[in-house]
């Protein structure tokens, strides 16, 4: 079974530029998450989708971050404009549906390491 795929793996941009990350979850996983992991800290949830609907985006900085999950499969996370403090690893994870009883068992992708200079 293929795991969660993410691209690109690394990205270096200057502040005020824009950037986009892509995620393809495990086939059949209805729930998709984006996390931000700053060096030395645990991942922080940015947004959670169930199919193509948003379940929780309370910690997403909506003035600069946006995310979508068209057709309930792939997802993109965008930052525009980027700030220095956005330097982090962006992790995508997927799991079975919230009603499955196994939603907490999340499968993580390798992450995208973003450096903002």
Cβ 61 to another protein shortest distance, Å: 16
Residue entry with tokens 């949830």: 45
- All residues at 6 or more sequence positions from 99 whose CB lies less than 8 Å from its CB, including other chains: none
Q: Which is nearer to another protein, 16 or 38 (CB)?
A: 38
Paired tokens of 40: 């030395």
Contacts with another protein, residue ranges (CB under 8 A): 3-4, 31, 33, 35, 40-45, 48, 55-56, 91, 93, 98-99, 101-111
In the complex with another protein, the residue whose CB is nearer, 57 or 74, is 57
Taking the least distance from each CB to another protein, the nearer of 8 and 104 is 104
Query: Going by C-beta distance under 8 Å and a sequence separation of 6 or more, which residues neighbour residue 56?
Result: 45, 47, 48
**DSSP characters for 51-104?**
TTEEEE-TTS-TTTEEEE-GGGS-EEEEESS--GGG-EEEEEEEES-GGGS-TT
Q: Least distance to another protein from the beta carbon of 116, Å? A: 22
Of 33 and 65, nearer to another protein (C-beta) is: 33
As measured in angstroms, the least distance from the Cβ of 14 to another protein is 28
């Amino acid at each position: 079974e293929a795991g969660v795929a993410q691209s690109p793996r690394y990205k270096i941009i200057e502040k005020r530029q824009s950037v986009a990350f892509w995620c393809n979850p495990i086939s059949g996983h209805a729930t998709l998450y984006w996390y931000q992991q700053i060096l030395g800290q645990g991942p922080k949830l940015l947004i959670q989708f169930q199919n193509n609907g948003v379940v929780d985006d309370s910690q997403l900085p909506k003035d600069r971050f946006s995310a979508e999950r068209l057709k309930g499969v792939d997802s993109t996370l965008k930052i525009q404009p980027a700030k220095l403090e956005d330097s982090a690893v962006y992790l995508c994870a997927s799991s079975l549906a919230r009603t499955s009883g196994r939603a907490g068992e999340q499968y993580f992708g390798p992450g995208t390491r973003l450096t903002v200079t």
